[in-house]
Amino acid sequence: EVGYDGNGGTKMFDLMDGFLRNDPMSLQKDVLHHVEYTVARSRFSFDDFEAYQALSHSVRDRLIERWHDTQQHFKKKDPKRLYFLSLEFLMGRSLSNSVINLGIRDQCAEAVNQLGFEYEVLAEQEGDAALGNGGLARLSACQMDSLATLDYPAWGYGLRYQYGLFRQIILDGFQHEQPDYWLNFGNPWEIERVHVSYPVKFYGTVKDEDVNGKKCKVWIPKETVEAVAYDNPIPGYGTRNTINLRLWAAKPSDANDIQESYNTGDYINAIVNRQKAEIISNVLYPDDRSYQGKELRLKQQYFFVSASLQDIIRRFKDVHGNFDDFPDKVALQLNDTHPSISIAELMRVLLDEEHLGWKRSWNIVSKVFSFTTHTVLPEALEKVPADLLENVLPRHLQIIYEINHAFMEELKKKIGQDYARLSRMSIVEEGAVKNIRVANLSVYCSHTVNGVSRAHSELIKTRVFTDFYELWPEKFQYKTNGVTQRRWIVVSNPSLCSLITKWLGTESWIRNIDLLARLREYATNSDLQQEWRMVKKINKMRLAEYIETMSGVKVSVDAMFDVQIKRIHAYKRQLLNILGVIHRYDCIKNMDENERKNVVPRVCIIGGKAPPGYEIAKKIIKLCHAVAETINNDSDVGDLLKLVFIPDYNVSVAELVIPGSDLSQHISTAGHEASGTGSMKFLMNGCLLLATDDGSTNEIIEEIGAENMFIFGAKINEVPALREKDSNVKAPLQFARVVRMVRDGYFGYKDYFNSLCDTVENGKDFYLVGSDFASYLEAQAAADKAYVDKDKWTEMSILCTAGSGRFSSDRTIEDYAAQTWGIEPCKCPF
């Protein structure tokens, strides 16, 4: 185990020659060194940002040492490795996370303190690495942290976008998007590997050729782009293991034609064209709901998949001569369908480059992939137009057709001539436009398929992939999501972290989350309760300060902080929340002095980004601002109710908001949220949940108890019948009233919100906002009532944290390792 010296330092390394030391003096020396030689500033004059850079480089040096040792150890042991393929990773900030996982936070703070800097201020200098959209991407980041901490021999692979998720700017209440050129000031957390690069090819034709007397297909591509590796070390907590997240950047390839130019213009044009190669890794697609059959998107997918597989195969071949061992050494995890072209690519490499023949190649391919789906809606499943694929990757289309042919033959043997079913299950969708159903390809070719919560996995079996499930039930698993307590408690809520450690008498819970359950014993202890409230108050004060800076609204920390932060979507029902706020406002306005004394003051906080082309989501943001403007400026209401929109929601904003929340809302229409992971972060931070029975909610109920939560709304199985009812019949009167206020321009912008209101009235109300309204208000009233009894509320809050253990990504990763990937820990010795 780790040799901590009690101050978080790592005594054992300090005794070892050659390693960097972690005492404050050594760290300070390194910081000054980097100020002078890396940042190139005078050690007598540098600002907060430069100090952040120098400190980051000092931490990075320590990461590199561990990274080297870990890679060397993996190489020596040659265990089965996991390769986690994902087009998105939402890493957020690295400094604060790294110093915690390395166990050197206090030493760093002391080191910079003596130089006249404040550690917290330096950590704030860092911008977020936002190479992803939402839950799926942050889940990847949490899972990387757990893989490292649990000593698994794992690698992450992805794309190094130059522009991450757009920054959200609010002007007059409307969302505007600003490009996130996050690499502007350099990125000390990555290591450019100019020597690790692979050519990736596109377009061209396929020819038949004779290779050693055998008929072969040969792809003759037309364009080559170079993929260059950027390594991002991922340190485990309380272990020396530091794994790698390898992100690929597109660079022009020298392999493209050397040409003779006849004039300067030609020469200049040739270079301009060459530079276009970099477009591939330029920008992250900001849409988290629908797949668009765009050429650039397909090229991004193939680019990262091809480079990753070349890297993986090279590593395998370094040690192994026989590809039949491949499935014993390699697990390939598909994070949603986005990397699924890797199935055809691996098949192509084995067939066309390694010449293993179809049967042998397929035997290998069918044993290495596992597939996680993060969606519920069949219509959200990715499809690629066949002609697009044919143009960009002609050989891959052939291979997919061939896989499908074999698949259909196999199916006919199993189910006979049931053509309706065969056509539903086919990887190729016939029709006016021929499409490749990437999800069907992934399900058929993967050895396991899983949803991200128990309820979601059931939906997958009964609604999404029913035909597949009936034939191969053993393929289907469920893996409930989790989040890492390192970032979501230790980094973001240091006061709560110390309090938990104090009451448990150990900090082992940071690696062994099950220990949190022992807090249950003290849930009614008045000393703990008092300290618990104190911690919440500190975090609420920090949040209140932030709210005032960002939105100019002064809020009282005595009010209940009620939060909904996540991407904006119709199904997540931010509209239900806002209409609820309007109802609350309307009620307060109609109360007399005496009645107002019983109102529990609330600060309603909403934050999130709308996909740029999603009109309804953008109108929800505008509505929130319009309502906030009216309420917050109504002196008649004062501190009884405030509504604030937090702009530019991202990982580091979440780190600030979640610890300061009393109540959080997870109110999607039942059957639509695959899992939800925000709820788990709130839970860990002792924040009560107001939620529908969707995604992972019912698993949370099992751990926390429904009596400690506010559950409301239609159940999954009730939704279809409710949808059939007319929206005006199923909604209560109060609902019609608040919608009318919006339509009539009570909050300004008369008629502007009509299209938004139409989604919940005068029709089907697809997401059941009206029909869940009454039970939503009841749940909110129950929350008010509970908040008044401070001791009871605190007890519930403690029970939330105590019951959150099952929702650590450590548990998720242990499940995947044992049940899906078949990998074992490979711990790097000191």
Rank residues 285 and 816 by Cβ distance to ligand NBY and give the closer one: 285
Q: Residues 6 or more apart from 788 whose CB is under 8 A from it?
A: 600
Segment interacting with ligand NBY (CB under 6 A) among 78-86, 194-202, 618-626, 669-677 = 669-677
Minimum separation from the CB atom of position 481 to ligand NBY (A): 5
Residue from 24, 92, 135, 394 touching ligand NBY (CB under 6 A): that is: 135
Contact 620, 578 (CB under 8 A): yes
The full length of the chain comes to 830
Q: How many CA atoms lie within 13 Å of 160's alpha carbon, on the beta-carbon side?
A: 23
Minimum separation from the CB atom of position 459 to ligand NBY (A): 12
State how far the Cα of 402 lies from the Cα of 409, in Å rounded to an integer: 11
| # binding residues, ligand NBY (CB under 6 A) | 20
AA letter at 274: R
User: What is the maximum alpha-carbon separation in the chain?
Assistant: 95
Rank residues 481 and 577 by Cβ distance to ligand NBY and give the closer one: 481
Q: Tokens 């890492």 correspond to what residue?
A: 484
Segment interacting with ligand NBY (CB under 6 A) among 37-45, 78-86, 131-139, 632-640 = 131-139
Rank residues 143 and 529 by Cβ distance to ligand NBY and give the closer one: 143
Rank residues 294 and 502 by Cβ distance to ligand NBY and give the closer one: 294
Minimum separation from the CB atom of position 292 to ligand NBY (A): 8
What residues does 383 pair with on adjacent strands? 437
Q: Tokens 């100020």 correspond to what residue?
A: 35
> With binding defined as CB under 6 A, does residue 145 bind ligand NBY?
no
Residue from 24, 92, 103, 134 touching ligand NBY (CB under 6 A): that is: 134
Residue 560: both structure tokens together: 């209940």
Q: Residues 6 or more apart from 445 whose CB is under 8 A from it?
A: 343, 365, 366, 369, 403
Segment interacting with ligand NBY (CB under 6 A) among 135-143, 552-560, 652-660, 759-767 = 135-143
In the three-class reduction of DSSP (H, G, I as helix; E, B as strand; rest coil), residue 12 is classed as helix
State how far the Cα of 620 lies from the Cα of 728, in Å rounded to an integer: 21
Rank residues 133 and 404 by Cβ distance to ligand NBY and give the closer one: 133
Residue from 334, 452, 460, 628 touching ligand NBY (CB under 6 A): that is: 452
Residue from 448, 577, 677, 797 touching ligand NBY (CB under 6 A): that is: 677
Taking residues 269 to 308 in sequence order and writing x for each that binds ligand NBY by CB under 6 A, - otherwise, the string is: ----------------x-xx--x-----------------
Which contacts of 547-551 are long-range, i.e. CB under 8 A and separated by 24 or more positions? 547/603, 547/605, 547/644, 547/646, 550/646, 550/647, 551/644, 551/645, 551/646, 551/647
Fill in the DSSP letter of residue 42. Answer: B
Taking residues 379 to 418 in sequence order and writing x for each that binds ligand NBY by CB under 6 A, - otherwise, the string is: ---x------------------------------------
Shortest-Cβ-distance residue relative to ligand NBY: 135
Residue 417: Cβ-neighbour burial (10 angstroms; 0-12, 13-18, 19+): exposed
In the three-class reduction of DSSP (H, G, I as helix; E, B as strand; rest coil), residue 652 is classed as helix
State how far the Cα of 554 lies from the Cα of 543, in Å rounded to an integer: 11
Minimum separation from the CB atom of position 88 to ligand NBY (A): 6
Taking residues 411 to 450 in sequence order and writing x for each that binds ligand NBY by CB under 6 A, - otherwise, the string is: ----------------------------------------
DSSP string, 729-798: HHS-HHHHHHHHHHHTTTTS-TTTTHHHHHTTSSS--TT-TTTTHHHHHHHHHHHHHHHHSHHHHHHHHH
Minimum separation from the CB atom of position 136 to ligand NBY (A): 3
Q: Tokens 């399900």 correspond to what residue?
A: 443
State how far the Cα of 54 lies from the Cα of 29, in Å rounded to an integer: 11
> With binding defined as CB under 6 A, does residue 340 bind ligand NBY?
no
**Ranges within 688-717 binding ligand NBY (CB under 6 A):** 695
Minimum separation from the CB atom of position 251 to ligand NBY (A): 24
Q: Residues 6 or more apart from 311 whose CB is under 8 A from it?
A: 157, 196, 198, 229, 246
Rank residues 56 and 435 by Cβ distance to ligand NBY and give the closer one: 435
In the three-class reduction of DSSP (H, G, I as helix; E, B as strand; rest coil), residue 38 is classed as coil
Q: Tokens 């037309």 correspond to what residue?
A: 222
Segment interacting with ligand NBY (CB under 6 A) among 30-38, 130-138, 514-522, 631-639 = 130-138
**Ranges within 792-821 binding ligand NBY (CB under 6 A):** none
Segment interacting with ligand NBY (CB under 6 A) among 123-131, 506-514, 670-678, 703-711 = 670-678
Residue from 38, 53, 442, 675 touching ligand NBY (CB under 6 A): that is: 675
Segment interacting with ligand NBY (CB under 6 A) among 1-9, 127-135, 192-200, 652-660 = 127-135
Rank residues 56 and 375 by Cβ distance to ligand NBY and give the closer one: 375
> With binding defined as CB under 6 A, does residue 608 bind ligand NBY?
no
**Alpha helices (H) along 82-166:** 95-102, 105-113, 119-123, 135-149
Residue 102: both structure tokens together: 């390395």
Segment interacting with ligand NBY (CB under 6 A) among 224-232, 557-565, 575-583, 667-675 = 667-675
- What are the φ/ψ torsions at residue 609 (nearest 5 degrees)? -105, 145
Rank residues 48 and 287 by Cβ distance to ligand NBY and give the closer one: 287
Contact 731, 757 (CB under 8 A): no
Cα torsion through 728, 730, 735, 736, rounded to 10: 20
Minimum separation from the CB atom of position 289 to ligand NBY (A): 6
> With binding defined as CB under 6 A, does residue 144 bind ligand NBY?
no
Minimum separation from the CB atom of position 669 to ligand NBY (A): 12
**Alpha helices (H) along 276-357:** 295-319, 326-329, 341-348
Taking residues 456 to 495 in sequence order and writing x for each that binds ligand NBY by CB under 6 A, - otherwise, the string is: -------------------------x--------------
Minimum separation from the CB atom of position 672 to ligand NBY (A): 8
Minimum separation from the CB atom of position 452 to ligand NBY (A): 4
Segment interacting with ligand NBY (CB under 6 A) among 133-141, 162-170, 209-217, 582-590 = 133-141
Rank residues 136 and 603 by Cβ distance to ligand NBY and give the closer one: 136
> With binding defined as CB under 6 A, does residue 573 bind ligand NBY?
no
**Ranges within 85-104 binding ligand NBY (CB under 6 A):** none
Minimum separation from the CB atom of position 234 to ligand NBY (A): 19
Of 812, 24, 43, the residue nearest 452 (C-alpha): 812
Rank residues 23 and 673 by Cβ distance to ligand NBY and give the closer one: 673
Rank residues 103 and 135 by Cβ distance to ligand NBY and give the closer one: 135
- Provide the pairing of β-strand 205-211 with 214-220: antiparallel
Buried b / exposed e along 154-174 (16+ C-beta atoms within 10 A)? bbbbbbbbbbbbbbbebeebe
Residue from 55, 100, 104, 139 touching ligand NBY (CB under 6 A): that is: 139
State how far the Cα of 132 lies from the Cα of 346, in Å rounded to an integer: 25
Instruction: State the catalytic residues.
Output: 374, 566-567, 572, 677, 681
Segment interacting with ligand NBY (CB under 6 A) among 384-392, 432-440, 671-679, 784-792 = 671-679
Rank residues 298 and 644 by Cβ distance to ligand NBY and give the closer one: 298
Which residues here bind ligand NBY, judged by CB under 6 A? 133-137, 139, 285, 287-288, 291, 374, 382, 452, 481, 673-677, 695
